[in-house]
Structure 1
Amino acid sequence: MSIDYSQKIPNNVNLSEDRTLQRALEHWQPNYLQWWQDMGPEGSPDYDVYLRTAVSVDPQGWAHFDYVKMPDYRWGIFLAPPESGRQVNFGEHKGEAAWQEVPGEYRSTLRRIIVTQGDTEPASVEQQRHLGLTAPSLYDMRNLFQVNVEEGRHLWAMVYLLHRYFGRDGREEGEALLERRSGDQDNPRILSAFNEKTPDWLSFFMFTFITDRDGKYQLAALAESGFDPLSRTCRFMLTEEAHHLFVGESGVARVIQRTCDAMVEHKTDDPARLRALGVIDLPTVQRYLNFHFSVTSDLYGSEVSSNAANYYSGGLKGRFEETRIADDHRLGASTYPVPTLEGGRIGSVDVPALTALNERLRDDWIADVAAGVERWNRIPAKAGIPFRFKLPHKGFHRKIGVFADASVMPEGQVTAAGEWARRSPEWLPTEIDRAYVTSLMGRVAEPGRFANWIAPPVVGINRQPVDFAYVRFN
């Protein structure tokens, strides 16, 4: 399905045939562009950035690369091709034809799901607003801006659904998505992780590796939805999301590589000496990993959730790769283990699988994050350095669910609150850590040059050389 770029709003949903909807979205568009001007990448409107733009939703050859000024980027509405005869694949409506319109009984629930997902997209742009000013290379600056414009397009995707299927309520929600602000005390973003600051590039890489991976799992669960327009929207968003995960995983890997190179060259593992050399010591990287992992883990909500059960039973939100799971897809008699905390001991109990869907999705995400961490561990191993990154226990530093009031150490032991507070500088980034990492941040704007604290990538973007001018300043 090609995308019509002759329209004011590029789309593959025949927007020109629905003039009322077209006018509503064209009314929203200037407000979006004003939001981008106010909250998009700082100081960047005149940059020519080597960006990919979706030209088709065909998995083969779907993107075109060229220089674009970001305010001129053609944000639009792109849904994956429809599947002939698609059915609801889970829950009480399993086997029914997938819905092309919103079922009345699920109207408010679906709207809340779409708004919550939609709110994360502009939030991440706001969190990353200042990072272009301290990019460690033009390659990295370009990757940041690619993530930013695609998060903006994902906002468009959700706003289209709100406008097309939810009438006045949807239009009001679309406006509210542009009014909330990440970290604002009076009108913050909906989910707590999207109100955290992203003050430096190590935080950005961890965010795109860990928190955008949560986005992958949430979108994948929504891509199973019996509401077909939501499913098709999320399926194409996942195509774009893959690059965001690559930016994060490869970014952290390059930080680790540069540090390991310095450790081998100078024959030291002393964090103080490594900091004097201007690289990020591995224990600090581990503390950043612990922080971002724990904060993102809370995005999945409580281990036992009646809301999650209702979403599933209603056919609104499935499990990760729902159709590949070998069960009845109704879960009436199934169970799933969730953690418990009693008398200072962490245990496990089987609960109805319907109510444990948050925990199952969290576990799927944890396994994926852990696989990425193991790929990072190959770098010090290859250099002969006996350091291994580890994910903390899922109860570590949690604010939601079973572990909300617990003091769980990274290895999984429960300790007293005072002891946890005393030892937390071992596990979480301190003000000194963050100040040091911040001190390394400074823009490198010459093609082929990279900041001292990060290694160059192995290959460039879209078969371009690493020293390509990915961003041109005007």
Structure 2
Amino acid sequence: MMPTAINYQDKIPNNVDLSGDRRLQRALEGWQPRFMNWWAEMGPALQTQDVYLRTAVSVGRDGWAHFGHVAPEEYRWGIFLAERDPDRRIAFGEHQGEPVWQQVPGEYRADLQRLIVVQGDTEPASVEQQRLLGLTAPSLYDLRNLFQVNVEEGRHLWAMVYLLHAYFGREGREEAEALLHRNSGSPDSPRILGAFNEETADWLAFYMFTYFTDRDGKYQLGTLKESAFDPLSRTCEFMLKEEAHHMFVGTTGVDRVVRRSAELIREHDTLDIGPHGGIPLEIIQKYLNFHYSVSLDLFGSETSTNAANYYTAGLKGRWQETRRKDDHRLTEDSVLLDKPTAEGTWQQEELPALLALNLDLRQEYIADCASGVKRWNKILAEHGIDFRFALPHPGFNRRVGVGAGFHVTPDGTIVDERTWEAGRSHWLPTSEDLTFVRSLMHPVYERGKIASWVAPPRNGINGKPFDYQYVHLA
């Protein structure tokens, strides 16, 4: 049985008995300096003495993290897998009922490697996207949360790199190197997925990213947690534990922006709160539209033979696979897909459920995203404001899937290009909107103070008050 405690005596903290495999240990210790160079060049630009961070000390259910002030460059990134269940069996696909795999089956080697590389590529990408945000942090509390998200995304990169080194030989080691060579937004070597090449230039974008895009990460990790390849499953299970805080940052971050905007609307009796230092609700909706639609593209095409093959082989399951009340093979099941037509209408097409696994996962995600919109609308209702936020139609602003190539408005109407271009400025952030929001992004580093465009949190971190010294600047 793998220990739940994490060994911090090794150069690379781990609970996988890394010292018992000297060759693997040397390989990862050789990769470690390159990771540190990447962090120095592409990690947070703001220099700090230390930050109040949590560090994993165990992979058990309770008391798994320690909080304390740490210099970010001295954070102990490591390799942590959830506890192994010796009786675990494959829950779906053609291998259903067989014991899970502790090694990579040769016939699935390429597919598993690709899944790990794509997941691994997203982790450093978000750090790169958020590199400059510390320079405009609205409070020390928010700055601390940014660093927490960043160091844990760095650790999630380590999680995937360990799997590549441990189970995929020379090709895995080469892919691990490439994860540091690609950079978000690079014209020559961009990150693999489009959303991770978008700019995150202000804190409203950061909150939206951690709400919508990190939530996509939750669902992708959830499907890999079901994998028959047990080391991948256990890796993703622990990553999900850390990922929960990232989504908390997004959920409460947007909460606080909406609350502050609502306060300013009430105070000045106008929705036009820009002149009063607040972010208008209309601009928040545009940011929501953009980040939600870009995140939907991360689910891929609604129909996918690759996803079907991954499922049948046992490589990647459905969200909460073991709770599903079906045969977990899906060879006889079907679903309905709404598709746009050239005539400007929507029609339903019946598809084999196996081909529509991306659609199934996306539907789970959409239902989850809707819960945040309800939260934000409740804040508006409590302030007596009639405006309501809404998720746009899944076909809106899409570059991937059945909506790609069509012009779909937020309410789902299919329009021509001219109509779309005429409405774009009402639906998506304009350059003027972005410039305005960035004009509000003045750093507030004084203990207990916060920028005027966002409300303070209701609670601090780990029982600390909002005015705690979460960060000591350099």
TM norm structure 1: 0.99
Residue of structure 2 in register with 1:290 after alignment: 289
Tell me if 1:408 matches 2:411. no
- Report the AA paired with residue 295 of structure 2: T
> What SS does structure 2 have at the residue aligned with 1:463?
coil
> What SS does structure 1 have at the residue aligned with 2:408?
coil
Residue of structure 2 in register with 1:66 after alignment: 68
**Whole-angstrom distance in 2 between the partners of 1:294 and 1:267:** 32
Displacement of 1:339: 1.9
1:97-119 deviation digits (Å, cap 9, x = unpaired)? 00000010000000000000000
> What SS does structure 1 have at the residue aligned with 2:405?
coil
- Report the AA paired with residue 221 of structure 1: T
**Whole-angstrom distance in 2 between the partners of 1:47 and 1:201:** 22
Residue of structure 1 in register with 2:392 after alignment: 392
- Report the AA paired with residue 304 of structure 1: T
1:46-67 deviation digits (Å, cap 9, x = unpaired)? 4210000000001200000000
1:311-369 deviation digits (Å, cap 9, x = unpaired)? 10000000000000000000000012222122211122220000000011011101000
- Report the AA paired with residue 300 of structure 1: F
TM norm structure 2: 0.99
Residue of structure 1 in register with 2:450 after alignment: 450
Residue of structure 2 in register with 1:238 after alignment: 240
Displacement of 1:84: 2.3
Residue of structure 2 in register with 1:280 after alignment: 279
- Extract unaligned runs of 5+ from structure 2: none
Residue of structure 1 in register with 2:269 after alignment: 267
Residue of structure 2 in register with 1:10 after alignment: 13
After TM superposition, which residue ranges in structure 1, 4 or more long, deviate above 6 angstroms?
none
Between 1:304-313 and 1:333-342, the stretch displaced more is 333-342
Residue of structure 2 in register with 1:309 after alignment: 308
Residue of structure 1 in register with 2:336 after alignment: 337
Whether contact under 8 Å (2:184, 2:198) holds in the other structure is yes
Displacement of 1:473: 1.5
Query: Map of 1:358-373 to 2, 5 A cutoff?
Result: 358-373=358-373
> What SS does structure 2 have at the residue aligned with 1:337?
strand
1:64-109 deviation digits (Å, cap 9, x = unpaired)? 0000000100000000000121011000100010000001000000
Tell me if 1:199 matches 2:204. no
1:156-209 deviation digits (Å, cap 9, x = unpaired)? 000000000000000000000000000001000000000000000000000000
Residue of structure 2 in register with 1:186 after alignment: 188
Of 14, 21, 26, 1:23 maps to 26
> What SS does structure 2 have at the residue aligned with 1:76?
coil
- Report the AA paired with residue 287 of structure 2: Y
Displacement of 1:265: 1.1
**Whole-angstrom distance in 2 between the partners of 1:324 and 1:298:** 26
Residue of structure 2 in register with 1:380 after alignment: 380
Root-mean-square deviation (Å): 0.6
Displacement of 1:43: 2.9
**Whole-angstrom distance in 1 between the partners of 2:213 and 2:127:** 13
**Whole-angstrom distance in 1 between the partners of 2:347 and 2:139:** 47
**Whole-angstrom distance in 2 between the partners of 1:73 and 1:227:** 29
Displacement of 1:442: 1.1
**Whole-angstrom distance in 1 between the partners of 2:373 and 2:159:** 31
**Whole-angstrom distance in 1 between the partners of 2:75 and 2:338:** 46
Displacement of 1:256: 0.4
Q: What's the % identity of the aligned pairs?
A: 60
Residue of structure 2 in register with 1:257 after alignment: 259
**Whole-angstrom distance in 1 between the partners of 2:95 and 2:473:** 54
Query: Map of 1:311-326 to 2, 5 A cutoff?
Result: 311-326=310-325
**Whole-angstrom distance in 1 between the partners of 2:388 and 2:445:** 33
Of 150, 161, 185, 1:159 maps to 161
> What SS does structure 2 have at the residue aligned with 1:27?
helix
**Whole-angstrom distance in 1 between the partners of 2:336 and 2:75:** 46
- Extract unaligned runs of 5+ from structure 1: none
> What SS does structure 1 have at the residue aligned with 2:168?
helix
Residue of structure 1 in register with 2:214 after alignment: 212
Residue of structure 2 in register with 1:418 after alignment: 418
1:207-256 deviation digits (Å, cap 9, x = unpaired)? 00000000000000000000000000000000000000000010011000
- Report the AA paired with residue 328 of structure 1: D
**Whole-angstrom distance in 2 between the partners of 1:337 and 1:279:** 43
**Whole-angstrom distance in 2 between the partners of 1:340 and 1:141:** 43
> What SS does structure 2 have at the residue aligned with 1:401?
coil
1:294-325 deviation digits (Å, cap 9, x = unpaired)? 11100111111000000100000000000000
Displacement of 1:30: 0.2
> What SS does structure 2 have at the residue aligned with 1:122?
helix
Displacement of 1:268: 1.3
Whether contact under 8 Å (2:340, 2:414) holds in the other structure is no
**Whole-angstrom distance in 1 between the partners of 2:446 and 2:240:** 32
**Whole-angstrom distance in 2 between the partners of 1:287 and 1:43:** 29
> What SS does structure 1 have at the residue aligned with 2:434?
helix
